[in-house]
Structure formats: structure tokens, C-alpha cells
Structure 1
């Protein structure tokens, strides 16, 4: 009789199998169940039998198994490899040699790029920047449509100095500072469907234009509340280019006429409407042509801003012309910063050095928000416009990489590291030599099983006649 010694737990009972199970019989006629477990701790799934025995599940049970437990082997294998983190990976050995080559490579790449950007920026032709908001007072009572028709109606002509030849094509920019175009309310106040030429619009779509939806809406009264009952196919659309700022401020227009601004919203209502001309003489008798073809993005001209075809009431040709104007598209492409430059036109001829003149019709007020207005002419190169900061950044980062590579190389030459740290094959060879240096008897005592090859506990030698207990007693 086996008696467990002190400190050893009794072994769990082993299920008893019948003679028929030992002979491999499976549930013939009049044959009892082939497996008779003697403990209730067995897995209930494994103890289920099939009719006269066997131990496999019924077809009905297999059909009732959830789909996630019957995934295809490929999917299950892939998921298991992800969970066990056995997917193929690349883990480079970051040796000193690798780091030196990496730092020197990045440095030799960044420094030339930075020098090329700086040289290109120096070769870009650019005029002086002319600030004119303090020299030409804004005439805010003029509508955008009237300002475009009148041209430089203020009679303000200012000199613009070009110090070096600017090769064609050159670009005429205006700059506005202090205007937060990225404010959430300002960004959302527009109707994209209306800008694509779709009409009529639902109440929800017109609410996107708040607070400037109808003629007469102002920021003072908070705009109009769009009502479903007010909208029908008889609603009229009025271009906001036909309403003067003074009339809008005074609350002109009747809500009962349901005159919807087209285009509606804060962004369209605050469009930059100064008129600018580049002239070779101080009387602007023969202005230099400024082309607007190509100043807007292709995505805007082809998708975002489209005319309504066919032109039918309440849409008009004037509304189509305003929405498809590329200068309007440039303004609607909002800036992420308070100070921004926007393209006004393209000059297709070279500009020799000299003094040119800008005819200004100032209608866009900047004093209420403390901003400024300026103009300048410049051309571009392979990386865009003048950008000294980008070139300096590349050069500084490249020099830091070269300095880092030099520091690693100097340290490595002064205190070289053993090759075994950088070569995995040498590490494996060193481990093999250490293993072979251990006596066979010591490896036999320490190897095997959970605690050793003999299955004993640490510090207890196995006996010839049985397993050793914790105190060295022989267990029979």
C-alpha cells in the first residue's frame, strides 16, 4: 500500500477503464459504456459519449458550436501568431558601426538639401513688401460688385520697388495679418451644396450658413432662424455681392421675401474685395495683365465650386460668375494661421528691376480687428516660395547628425567594445563553450523534468528504488 510521506500531496485518482476499452472495442450490441470515470473532476466535454460509446460529439452539437470556435485553420493560425507575437519581424543589431554609418548618412543627406534650399531661396526674385492699409483708407460702403466694376476707385497709387529681375511666371500676392480664419464658427458658416450649384436647399442645409443666411442678417441680431415652413421652391436667392455692407448693417431686406444670400455664410460675406493693379507708370494708364487662370486648386475649380446648369430662377448668371471666380475660391480656401498670403494673380512676363506702381481700391477693412494689408510680387522654385527657415532647419539637423556620428566614432576608437556584443553568432559560440565546460555529472544532476532530469526537487538527489522525499526518505 502506497503511503504518502510528509510534505507530499496524494496523487489524484486515475480513471479506471474497462477490459473492452483496453481491447479497443467501441460500443457493440449489448456492450456497456467503454469508459467509466471514477472521478467527477473530469472535463464534461470529454466524458460525453456517442450512442453506444466512442467519446466523439454528435453532429447536432457540432452544428450548434459557435462560429467563432469553428474558424478556418488559416484564420485561427494567423490570430494565434498575432497573440503569441510570432509574426516575422526585423530587429537590427544596433552596433556602434551601424550607428556611426546611420548618423553620417543622415548628416551627408540633410546638409546638401539645406544648402540647396538656402541657395534657391536666395535666387528667388521678390519685390519689397508694400503695406497700404495706412496709406489708402478703406471705402466700406462700396459693394464687392461695384468695387470690381470701378477698379481702383480710391485713386490711390503707391510705388512698389523691384530690386532684382523677376523671371516669369511671377505671382502677385496680398497679405492679411491678424485675421483668425480658423475660428470654428467662421469655418462652418458656409453651404457646400450651395457652392456646388445645388438648389433648393433644406432647412438643415441652410442652417450651416448661420448667422448670415438671409439678406438683412447681421452679427448684431444673431442672424435668422431658418424655419421649414419658410422654404419652398418660390424662395428667391440674392447674391451677397449686390448688397452693400451698410445695407446689411442696417438690417435691409425683408424676411417675408425669403431672399437667401448666395453664397451665404460668414466666409463668403467677408471676402477680400480690394482691387489691385500693377502698373509701370504712376498714372496706371497701362496696367500689367494679371491672370487669374490657375490661381485656385484643381479640386476647387472642378468639384467644390460649380455653376448651376442650366441657369434657372432663382439662380442667375451673376451668381454663377461669383461662385466660379478663382479669386473667390482662393479666399474660401481658409488659412490655419492669423497671418496669411493669398494669390491674387499671375504675371506672365518678366519684371526688370525698377519702380512699379500699385493702383489700390481699398474696400476691405482691417482696423476693426487690428490687422494689416500688404502686397508683394515673387516667383517660385522647385521647393515652392522663399523659405529660409526650411533650409536652416535642414542644415542644423544635418550638422547635429554629423556631430553625433563623430562622437560615437571617437568613443568607439577610444574604448572599443568586444565583438561578442555585436555578433550573435559569437554569443552562441560562447554559450556553447560554457555549456561544454560544465562536467557531465553536474549537468545530469541539474537537468531534466521540471526541477531536473530525475524529477526530484532542487537539492534532493533521487534514489535508486523510488522518488526522494523532502527529507531524503525513500518513497516506495
Structure 2
């Protein structure tokens, strides 16, 4: 003990010198430059990476039920979605090469004869319950091109109709579909941009054929666009003393060059459906994400007596004013009649996706279960698992090769000992320490030890004889009794020291930590040789 300071001084002296540079211990460390920022992270739990974290332990017991639950939930949902989508009635008719009355395809005459009219006949083989919608569909039309999507002026669409000669020109994103003319004599397109310039302008009518008579099916042009688009994103100027035509002429605004109908006359039947609030224009301006898409064109008016429940089976005719060319980009055009379900139109993908994911989860659960049964670790492979026991001739025997739960056994025995020899100490108040032996339990540590010794001797010999093993004074019994003996002996000494009255002072308190450490070390040495479970009255002691 006296040499410790000297050794400490030697270590301090040796560590005070710099081996690399030979700097003496007395030399001060170089001072940091003033104003230099420290790169040391702040002493916070976040920057010191001391935040609490949770990581799931993926075991067979947790993963397999999860996979089964996902499968059992997804498969019924997928079946419901698939059946709902399958009940939707849909008729798709391509009219890209629709024939004019002169037997020439309208696709070849669009630029020569803009008002080519053709008819497409379809047969509806079953009732199409309402509500029924009409769509136009296109293929190979890339509305998702970056420059095409950006080619618009949102301020203009929201009602800012400015004279281009006043210094407020349309957005440059609209170029080259923004303006015409020279400086001082500009005319701006309204709406500007490539999206508006390529507005779909075919007109389609529907007729029902009955007894060689064509009965028109009334179509609604309104309530086909999103409410948010109609109320916020597309607005006409708030001017009440002028018409849309007069406003555009006074501010030198013109309709896009590829339009056949001016902006103020897009709907000659409903005055409120003109200008930038025309719903056909609003639907078209919402660009599609894929080159093949469909957009809502009309709603079937179910107020007619003949079509109040939807479209009845029979022959129908589409009368089409063919104005929109698609041959230039190898596109195709379709007209679609469709009913809807609670999930929307006919789309079986969602149902198939749910059923596929559910089936995969069930298959994976089965595969993982078989792998776990065949290759998974058994209880006997662990030192701290709970052994399985089976009854043979009224004798409980452990599973073949299964090791005893050593840690649980040690904790169980220590808890039993602690209940009999625990010391409740209050070091703050320096009050008396209570020993729960002797006076309170009416027996000393020695008597408790004797009681446990008799019990273990009886049950241990019965278990050894039943298994055909003759241990005599077996190692198991001896080590277990030694453990209890030490605890009992220590308890008796402390009991005698306290004068037999169950009280002792703080200065004389029992050092429970030493007692438990001694018992723990004995048990660690003992458990390596234990091959039989601790039994009581012929029953194994199972500790979870």
C-alpha cells in the first residue's frame, strides 16, 4: 500500500513527456487561435448519438404471425376489390380510322376537311347501370414531357388578362405559343402554351337504336372537372360591364392558333361554361402521367325516362366530328362508355395486387415455418431456455439432451435465500437493520437449512432412482446443499451477532452483496456439471 504513490508518480512522469517531439512536460500546450471555431459536436443527446432507439428482434415467433395476418387480411380485400372492378361494365371503341360517308378515313382528311363526320356502331350486351360516363382515350400522346407540362401561365389562367403592350407579357414558359407580332403591336395568346394549343376538340354524340329509330342520349358537359380547378385555378376576369369577347379584343388577346372555336364561344349552350372556366379546357389542362390515358368527356343524363337506370342492352351509335389529328405522332383515339363502382372505374390491378401480396405472405410464412421446424435451433441448443418435460410412468423427465435453465435456477434459488435472509437497510437515517430470520419466522437459518436439506435429499434420491442413476451423495445435491449451507451459516452468524432479537445496528449490518456473490460463484461452478433438473415432490421446477 505504501508503494502505490511512488508508482503513480512514475507513471505520471513517464506520461508527461512527448515521445514524438520530445516536448518536456512543463511546456504548455499551443494555444488555439482566437476566433477559431471548434469542430467538436455539441454536448447534446442528439449530436452525441445518445437518443433512445428501438430495433425489432425478428424471430420466428414474431415474423410468422405477422406474415399470416397480412396474408389473411390482404387476400379478402383483394377479392372484394377484384369482384367490384369486374362488375363494372365498360365498352371501348377505337375511332382513329373512322370512315367518312365517302368511305375515306377521316384521319387522312383532317387538314383538308376539318369537319369530317363519321359513325361508330357498338352493341351493349348487358345493362350498364348508372351513373354512366363517357371518356375519350388516347395512346402515344406524351403529355408528361417536361417542356409540355411547363408550357402554361398560371397567373393568366387565374384571371390576369394583361395587354401584352403594357409591359406584362405572358410567361416565357409558354414560348413559342405566347404571343405574335412585333414590339408595340403584340397579340398574346389566351390561354398561352403548348397544353392549351393542343386542346382536344373532337365532338361526340350518342344515339340509341330501337326499331330503326335513333334516340339521342342526352349528355351533360358540366361537373366533369375537379371542384378545386373550377373555383381556384381557372378564372375569368371579374368584369361585369363587358363580355369575354370585348375584354379579349380590348386587351389584344387572341385564342390559340390551332383552335377552331374562339375562347368565348367554347360552349354555345351554357354561357357560364365559356372562357377559362370551360370544363373541357380544364380537364385537358390537367396533364396525364402516362402516354396512354383517358379523360372524362361527358356524363349521361339519367333524368330521361328511358335511361334513368342506366343504358339498356342494345345497339348504340357514336356520331363523331373528327377534328383532332393523331396520325402525325402515330397515336390512337378511343371513345369509352363505363359505369362505376364504389372504388371507381374498371381497374382490376388493385385487387390483383392485394391478392398477390397476400398470397406471397402466406407462402413465405409456410416456407419459413418449415425451415424453422427443420433447421431452427431447439431448446436444447441454448443454456438459458426452458426445458420441455414429459410424463413417463408418472415421472417427469426432461427432453432428451435438454440442458437445465441454469440462470433461472440460480435466480430462483437466490430469490428463495433472499426472502429468508434479506437485510432491509436504511443508511440515510442510520436506523436499525431488520433481519427477517429468527424472531419473525420462528426458526433460525440453521433450521431453514435443515428443512431444505431434507427436502432435497428426498426428492433428489427419488429422481435419481427413477432414472436408473445412482449418485449417492451426488454432485448436484452436494453443490446445492453447499449453496444453501453457506447462506444458512451466514444467516445464523448474523442472527447470533444481533443477539437473537432480530435487530442489529447499522455498524453491524449484514453485507448481503458478499453473501450473494459467494453463492453466485458457487452456483456458476456447480451449473456446469448439472444434468438433472431441480425437482420438488416428483415435479420439475419450471422457471420462465
TM-score range, shorter chain: 0.5 to 0.7
CA positional deviation for 1:140: 3.8
1:373-418 Cα distance to aligned partner (Å, 9 max, x none): 1112001222221112222222121111001111122223334435
What residue is the counterpart of 1:41 in the other structure? 28
Q: Provide the rounded CA distance (Å) in 2 between the counterparts of 1:284 and 1:308.
A: 45
What residue is the counterpart of 1:183 in the other structure? 145
Cα RMSD between the aligned structures? 4.3
Q: Secondary structure at the match of 2:366?
A: helix
Q: Secondary structure at the match of 1:400?
A: helix
1:196-207 pair list within 5 angstroms: 196-200=158-162, 205-207=170-172
Question: Is 1:113 aligned to 2:73, yes or no?
Answer: no
1:208-258 Cα distance to aligned partner (Å, 9 max, x none): 21111235xxxxxxxx7xx7x53xxxxxxxxxxxxxxxxxxxxxxxxx4x2
1:105-254 pair list within 5 angstroms: 105-136=69-100, 137-138=106-107, 140=110, 154-200=116-162, 205-214=170-179, 229-230=183-184
Q: In terms of Rg, which structure is larger? A: 2
Q: Secondary structure at the match of 1:135?
A: coil
Contact map agreement 2:128 2:312 (CA 8 A) in 1: yes
1:419-452 Cα distance to aligned partner (Å, 9 max, x none): 699999999948998x989969x9xxxxxxxxxx
Q: Provide the rounded CA distance (Å) in 2 between the counterparts of 1:285 and 1:368.
A: 34
Q: Secondary structure at the match of 2:333?
A: strand
CA positional deviation for 1:372: 1.0
What residue is the counterpart of 1:347 in the other structure? 300
1:382-461 pair list within 5 angstroms: 382-418=342-378, 429=407
Q: Provide the rounded CA distance (Å) in 2 between the counterparts of 1:122 and 1:156.
A: 31
What residue is the counterpart of 1:89 in the other structure? 53
State the number of aligned residues.
347
What residue is the counterpart of 2:223 in the other structure? 294
Q: Secondary structure at the match of 2:128?
A: coil
Contact map agreement 2:89 2:338 (CA 8 A) in 1: yes
Q: Secondary structure at the match of 1:361?
A: strand
1:315-356 Cα distance to aligned partner (Å, 9 max, x none): 378178131111111111111111111110111431011111
Q: Secondary structure at the match of 1:83?
A: coil
Q: Secondary structure at the match of 1:80?
A: coil
Contact map agreement 2:78 2:351 (CA 8 A) in 1: yes
Q: Secondary structure at the match of 2:311?
A: coil
Q: Secondary structure at the match of 1:387?
A: coil
Q: Secondary structure at the match of 1:276?
A: strand
Q: Provide the rounded CA distance (Å) in 1 between the counterparts of 2:189 and 2:341.
A: 41
Structure with the greater relative contact order (CA < 8 A, sep ≥ 6): 1 or 2? 1
Q: Provide the rounded CA distance (Å) in 1 between the counterparts of 2:384 and 2:236.
A: 68
Specify whether residues 159 and 110 from structure 1 end up closer, same or farther in structure 2 by C-alpha distance, changes over 3 A only.
same
- Structure 1 unmatched ranges of 5 or more: 15-37, 46-60, 70-75, 148-152, 216-223, 231-255, 443-476
CA positional deviation for 1:101: 0.4
What residue is the counterpart of 2:63 in the other structure? 99
Question: Which residue of 357, 360, 385 corresponds with 2:320?
Answer: 360
Q: Provide the rounded CA distance (Å) in 2 between the counterparts of 1:392 and 1:113.
A: 10
- TM-score, length-scaled by structure 1: 0.62
Contact map agreement 1:81 1:87 (CA 8 A) in 2: yes
Contact map agreement 1:128 1:161 (CA 8 A) in 2: no
CA positional deviation for 1:89: 2.9
Q: Provide the rounded CA distance (Å) in 2 between the counterparts of 1:396 and 1:343.
A: 30
Specify whether residues 82 and 131 from structure 1 end up closer, same or farther in structure 2 by C-alpha distance, changes over 3 A only.
same
Q: Provide the rounded CA distance (Å) in 1 between the counterparts of 2:380 and 2:199.
A: 69
What residue is the counterpart of 1:372 in the other structure? 332
Q: Provide the rounded CA distance (Å) in 2 between the counterparts of 1:284 and 1:305.
A: 41
Question: Which residue of 244, 248, 266 corresponds with 1:315?
Answer: 248
**Range that drifts further, 94-103 or 158-167:** 158-167
1:62-81 pair list within 5 angstroms: 80-81=44-45
Contact map agreement 1:295 1:343 (CA 8 A) in 2: yes
- Structure 2 unmatched ranges of 5 or more: 18-24, 101-105, 250-262, 266-272, 303-309, 387-404, 412-516, 525-544
